Structure 1
Amino acid sequence: MTVVKRFVAGAVCPRCGQMDCIRMYRDEEREYRECVRCDFEDSQRLDGAAEPAELETRVNRAKPVLEPGERPLRFVSNPVKKDG
């Protein structure tokens, strides 16, 4: 199956802000859009289902809640001794 890519008249790229540089195409599951000037790419599902949830990492994980009376550990660097 050949993929037909069509330009979207009047569309503005969300990354570079240039007009008339976005083209769209689709396959059986997704619809894609891309900018020919700045290589922006985006896609969405055709069936309307939600995208898979983002994997939990140490960066996006919620901060732990401290119990009453608990305090976080604070690490303090050792003072530098000056010779004198």
Structure 2
Amino acid sequence: MTNKNRRRFIAGATCPNCKAMDTIMLYFENNMEKLKCVECDYQETQADEKVQASSRENEDVIGIFKPE
């Protein structure tokens, strides 16, 4: 398994569909960043370029973890 196929959970993230906390996992598939809730199967997809350009003005972000 390569780093691009690694799935990781987002600590403190809340599912926009079922509102469950700590159930969102993030992974890459076909050069797309995907979010999935393991509780209700909610899914969201973004292309790499959109992810890099997204602004996070209204979030309380301490840092962004980018594993190499």
Structure 1 length-normalised TM: 0.52
Structure 2 length-normalised TM: 0.64
Q: Structure 1 regions of 5+ residues with no counterpart?
A: 49-84
For the aligned residue pairs, the C-alpha RMSD in angstroms reads: 1.4
SS at match of 1:47: helix
Which structure has the highest helix share of the two? Answer: 2
Percent of aligned pairs sharing the same letter: 42
Query: How many equivalent pairs are there?
Result: 48
Q: Structure 2 regions of 5+ residues with no counterpart?
A: 51-68
Which structure has the highest strand share of the two? Answer: 2
Structure (1 or 2) with the larger CA radius of gyration: 1
Relative CO higher for 1 or 2, CA cutoff 8 Å, sep ≥ 6?
2
Ranges of 4+ aligned residues in structure 1 off by more than 2 Å = none
